[in-house]
């Protein structure tokens, strides 16, 4: 069975998001001094680059090619939430974003009759995404002495609000395309 236009659009969208994530974290990794964060962020952006490849390869196996997209979800994020001003804020926005990604992929897995190639790709990516949430959460905990627990919690709240706004906007904008995901009932996302 051929991929529907909507599915092709969604998978292409994921691929573009992964490329954007890789570029974003890669640029960031380049600016960091030697530290555990430098180490983990380098692995993180390498993972996101791999994920873009997995989607490209998945679409190839499904007999098609990714659509070229211009819309960058992360850019809308930065617009809604404001540019992070320090490493703690970067980690906070990353944590919120990574949770959104996991939630989105879980939602897609819950779509009835999801294709084997897509399921396999999402499950492969999810293993890395779980680690992404884990290391960023640990990095934030390690920053509590420096930035204060309350300030970190407040920053996370601010980015979560921006995330909800951007996601609602994305769903509204692409409702026709992503409609097939709306009926899916994922398991509760990790927190």
Residues contributing to the site for Fe ion (CB under 5 A): 18, 48, 51, 98, 129, 132
How far is it, in rounded angstroms, from Cα 130 to Cα 115? 22
Residue 98 C-beta: closest distance to Fe ion, Å: 5
Host H or E run for residue 88: helix 87-109
Q: Closer to Fe ion by CB, 108 or 132: give it.
A: 132
Q: Closer to Fe ion by CB, 7 or 48: give it.
A: 48
Q: Closer to Fe ion by CB, 9 or 24: give it.
A: 24
Q: Closer to Fe ion by CB, 75 or 183: give it.
A: 75
Could you tell me which residues come within 8 angstroms of residue 161 by beta carbon, excluding any fewer than 6 positions away?
none
Q: How far apart are the first and last CA of the chain?
A: 36
Host H or E run for residue 11: helix 5-31
Q: Where are the alpha helices (DSSP H) in 143-187?
A: 144-147, 149-173, 175-182
Q: What DSSP character marks residue 191?
A: -
Q: What DSSP character marks residue 186?
A: P
């Amino acid at each position: 069975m051929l991929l529907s236009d909507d599915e092709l659009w969604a998978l292409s969208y994921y691929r573009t998001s992964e490329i954007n994530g890789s570029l974003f974290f890669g640029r960031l990794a380049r600016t960091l001094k030697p530290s555990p964060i430098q180490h983990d962020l380098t692995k993180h952006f390498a993972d996101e680059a791999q994920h873009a490849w997995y989607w490209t390869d998945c679409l190839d196996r499904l007999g098609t090619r990714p659509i070229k997209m211009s819309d960058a979800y992360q850019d809308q994020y930065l617009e809604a939430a404001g540019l992070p001003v320090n490493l703690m804020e970067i980690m906070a926005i990353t944590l919120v974003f990574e949770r959104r990604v996991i939630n989105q992929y879980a939602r897609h897995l819950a779509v009835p009759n999801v294709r084997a190639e897509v399921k396999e790709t999402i499950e492969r990516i999810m293993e890395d995404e779980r680690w992404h949430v884990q290391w960023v959460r640990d990095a934030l905990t390690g920053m509590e002495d420096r930035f204060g627990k309350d300030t970190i919690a407040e920053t996370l709240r601010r980015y979560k609000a921006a995330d909800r706004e951007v996601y609602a906007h994305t769903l509204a904008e692409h409702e026709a395309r992503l409609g097939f995901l709306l009926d899916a009932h994922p398991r509760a996302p990790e927190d």
